Amino acid sequence: MAVPVREHASQHDAIADLPLITESAQVTSVTRMDRDRRSEVTAAVSRLLDEHGLTREYGPVERREDCERVSTRLARDDYPGVARRVATLAERVERPKPMLTSARFRTETDVDFLAGQYVGLRYDGTSRAYSLANSPTEDELEICVRRIPGGRLSPQICADLAVGDELTIRGPYGDLVLQDHSPRDMVFLATGTGVAPLKSMIEYVFETGRDEYEGDRRDVWLFLGAAWRDDLPYLDVFRRLQRQRENFHFVPCLSREPVLSEWDGETDYVQHALLKHTDPTTVTAGLGEELERWLRETPQSGVEARLDPTNSEVYACGINAMVYSLVTAAERLGIPQSRIESEGFG
């Protein structure tokens, strides 16, 4: 029987029933996390055309319409591989900015919450649920928001939220929390802003010494997936933590970045990267042919450690469909339901 995945959608509707924390939380910082990469995209398309001797016939490329026109012509003229890469780049050339924003805010009194929980946030007359990205040990609260086209609140937060603005905060709530302290390794799986509650957990684990149990160090893994490098929330934070902590293994997975930059890390889905970093000698369950082949793939992350599913607990968060895939992979590895915590949204 599959592990049930808690879904965020209904939580937005229940915000009004959460306890009121404050009606005047003050925004202390706002960070737009992605950047305008138009010049990079057009340069990448130009390089791609030049590599195949097609610049004179198909260029120049300056706008999304140009990319789409070139992609269509390339496909028609029997250059399918080049056409697909140009089509991928077209999706990035003129997207709204910012698409990814983090914000910190201060409340009049301390907020007691468990790492992984969320709050209800009201801004500009609209309320939505957002997971807290900060450790419970910190004085301020933090959220990470991705702009959803046509969304009820995310476009305003990404584009308009400013230092000094006031927010109404309700909560906290949520069942995606750390399991009891144990000797097991911890495996965190996320896509996009689904990493927010996991960041809260990971920072709390290291700040409170929960990465050790009775003198033995626990491995802490984070597999984080996105399309582009600047779609990965807190990339620098996790890379810094990886340098500081030998038992923290960070595996970013970028599916589209290689068409734009010299990204040489993982490009597969998070669940496949999970399998690639698993010690195959520890897998006793039947994976099925589709998943088993990933055990034989060579990781591209540079992480030399390998995880043991017989001694692991899993935390997964992200878009609903992706979380179901992540949980399925964890189950297939033989990790019991009792050691899998998950939450989906969207």
Q: Per residue in 176-219, pLDDT tens?
A: 999 999 999 999 999 999 999 999 999 999 999 999 999 999 99
pLDDT digits (tens, 9 = 90+) for 274-310: 999 999 999 977 788 888 899 999 999 999 999 999 9
β-strand pairing of 126-131 with 118-123: antiparallel
Q: Report the C-alpha gap between 158 and 32 in whole angstroms.
A: 7
Same domain, 314 and 203: yes
Q: Which amino acid is at 246?
A: E
pLDDT for 89 beyond 90 = yes
Mean pLDDT, all residues of the chain = 93
pLDDT for 167 beyond 90 = yes
CA–CA distances in Å: residue 152 to residues 76, 89, 128, 241, 320? 40, 28, 8, 34, 19
- Mean pLDDT across 120-148: 96
98's tokens? 């910012």
The DSSP secondary-structure symbol of 309 reads G
Domain at 116, CATH number: 2.40.30.10
Q: Which of 149, 173, 197 is the last residue of a domain?
A: 173
Number of domains in the chain: 3
pLDDT digits (tens, 9 = 90+) for 136-160: 999 999 999 999 989 999 999 999 9
Domain at 272, CATH number: 3.40.50.80
pLDDT for 240 beyond 90 = yes
Please indicate, yes or no, if residue 180 is contained in any of the structural domains.
no
Cis before 60? omega within 30: yes
- Mean pLDDT across 8-21: 71
Same domain, 298 and 216: yes
Domain enclosing residue 18, as ranges? 6-34+98-173
What pLDDT score was predicted for residue 2? 52
Q: Report the C-alpha gap between 289 and 322 in whole angstroms.
A: 20
Helix (H) or strand (E) holding 217: strand 216-217
What pLDDT score was predicted for residue 286? 79
Q: Report the C-alpha gap between 40 and 292 in whole angstroms.
A: 37
pLDDT for 163 beyond 90 = yes
- Mean pLDDT across 99-108: 97
- Mean pLDDT across 35-62: 89
Between 345 and 170, name the one with better pLDDT.
170
Between 313 and 1, name the one with better pLDDT.
313
C-beta separation of 58 from 71 below 8 A: no
Q: Which of 108, 141, 173 is the last residue of a domain?
A: 173
Report residue 328's pLDDT band, with 50, 70 and 90 as the boundaries.
Answer: very high
Q: What is the pTM of this model?
A: 0.93
Same domain, 225 and 288: yes
Same domain, 46 and 165: no
